[in-house]
A and B are shown apart, each in its own frame.
Chain A
Amino acid sequence: MKLKYDVVVVGAGPAGSLTARHAAEGGATVLMIEKKPEIGAPLRCAEGVSKEGLKKVGIKADRSWISADVSGARIVSPGGKVLQIDEKQAGNEVGVVLERHRFDKAMAADAARAGAEIMLRTSAVDVIKKKGKVTGIKARSYGEPLTVEAGCVVCADGFESQVARWAGIDTSLKAGDITTCFQYRMVDIKHDPEFCEFIIGSMAPGGYVWIFPKGDDTANVGIGVLLSKLKKPGEVKTYLDKFIAKDDRLKCGQPVEAIAGGVSVCAPLDKCIGDGFLLVGDAARVIDPITGGGIVNGMITGMHAGKVLAKCVESNDFSEAALQDYETLWRDDLENKLWRNWMAKEKFLTLPDKTLDSVIDTLNEVGVERVTVYNLLKAIRDRHPDLVKEFEEFL
């Protein structure tokens, strides 16, 4: 079968759906394909997101896809020091805990209502190129071959990020920029349902353990470990099982869902556009390297991409030059923060458990509401001279 659209979006996650929606709203003919038989399933996510972040991309919070409201985040150091941050200061990943099964479908539904068409169980197998320009994709839909010609191919295929690599942008990652994750949905546990918890230290090398509430006795309990810190196959699950076995709040509970996945924690890519294609979301490697959160960042790229594509349709120009606006817009929003957090991640990797305790102490001394880079560095110099060496390059 052969089809023709202005825009074909590969992957129906939040980034793909926002691209599809905004492009369709602007008048583009859009096809969004999803390789799974169900959008939003299986889950690949800890589901934390800030209300502020949702607002930024014009999404109104809806009870149907929110499974818990939280009042803030707690960061727990290896020695048990706790830094409590209320919702407004916690950044992009706290505020509400989503029900991604429903949320992703709601985002896709908005795209459909704007006029985008959706094909499930349809996976891209290659891109079509003519004279160096991407002109469409080859796919398989319910097992049958499918060719889609398009002005622009949107690579929204998530962490796997294969379509971009076929198109000609190298999105491959270094081992130090990949976090491998495992998560249980646990029930009958005794966590604090008001707070998203991040537990850092050597029990999750280069990453952290998270407890994101999904209700009074239910939470997503997961772990991310940096690939470069892993030695044996299957070690990530072992790390999490060990943590749960030692935690009094968790060891009484039982899992009702187990999921796994990869997360990029890299510096921004040099380029996210080319002739006839662009990258959004996890595929564009825009996940926050510190938190590993990617929902809001992904939707920001999707929103910009869709709006720019709608303009490209008017002039029927999907060249790299025409897509440059997209590159500029998403970088204005995210690039500096992604670089800064990637550098901070590289720094944190080197800190032993004891230093992490001191860092949490320092943050508490400064007072979270007064944390600015300046205040933090001043406190380090005044009260923890032992830390000065660690943060020299930032001073």
Chain B
Amino acid sequence: MIVNVEKCMHCGACVGSCPQNAIYLNDVVLEFTDDCNCCGRCVRACPVGALKLEVKK
């Protein structure tokens, strides 16, 4: 998961939307844990489009 720090507003919409509880927002730093299964819901939940799913090849 890639976070565009210039767009991110640290609002936590992704955190509460994550079915895996795999996102941690420590005030300003957004971290994804190993529980992330790349479902992509946070990408749509982000009000400003700050998240991008990049599939590893």
Contact = CB atoms under 8 A, between A and B. Distances in A.
Interface bin, chain A? 35 or more
Given A233-B44, A235-B44, 14 more contacts: A158-B12, A159-B12, A160-B16, A161-B16, A172-B19, A180-B47, A227-B41, A227-B45, A233-B46, A233-B52, A235-B49, A260-B46, A262-B11, A262-B14
Interface in A284-314: none
Contacts of B43: 233
Interface string B32-57: 00000000010111111111100000
A37 B10 CA distance: 14
Contacts of A261: 11-13, 47
A236 interface: yes
Contacts, number: 100
A123 B16 contact: no
Nearest to A237: B48
Interface bin, chain B? 20 to 34
B47 A237 contact: yes
B18 interface: yes
Contacts of A245: none
A123 B17 CA distance: 19
B15 to A, nearest CB: 4
Nearest to A159: B16
Given A158-B12, A261-B11, A36 B47 contact: no
B18 to A, nearest CB: 7
Interface in B1-35: 7, 9-21, 24-27
Given A182-B48, A233-B44, A162 B13 contact: no
A140 interface: yes
Interface of B: 7, 9-21, 24-27, 41, 43-52
B49 A121 contact: no
Contact of A121 (B21, B24, B27, B41): B27
A259 B9 contact: yes
Contacts of A180: 13, 17, 44-47
Contacts of B26: 35, 123, 140
B48 to A, nearest CB: 5
Interface in A160-175: 160-162, 165-166, 172-173, 175
A76 interface: no
Contacts of A356: none
Interface of A: 35-37, 42, 44, 121, 123, 125, 140, 158-162, 165-166, 172-173, 175, 178, 180-182, 227, 230-237, 258-262, 264
A173 B17 contact: yes
A161 B13 CA distance: 11
Nearest to B12: A160
A236 B51 CA distance: 14
B16 to A, nearest CB: 4
Q: Indicate the member of A140, A173, A233, A260 with the most B CB atoms within 10 Å.
A: A233
A261 B18 CA distance: 13
Q: Indicate the member of B20, B25, B43, B44 with the most A CB atoms within 10 Å.
A: B44
A158 B21 CA distance: 14
B6 to A, nearest CB: 13
A244 to B, nearest CB: 15
A47 to B, nearest CB: 16
B44 A227 contact: yes
Contacts of B16: 158-161, 173, 178, 262, 264
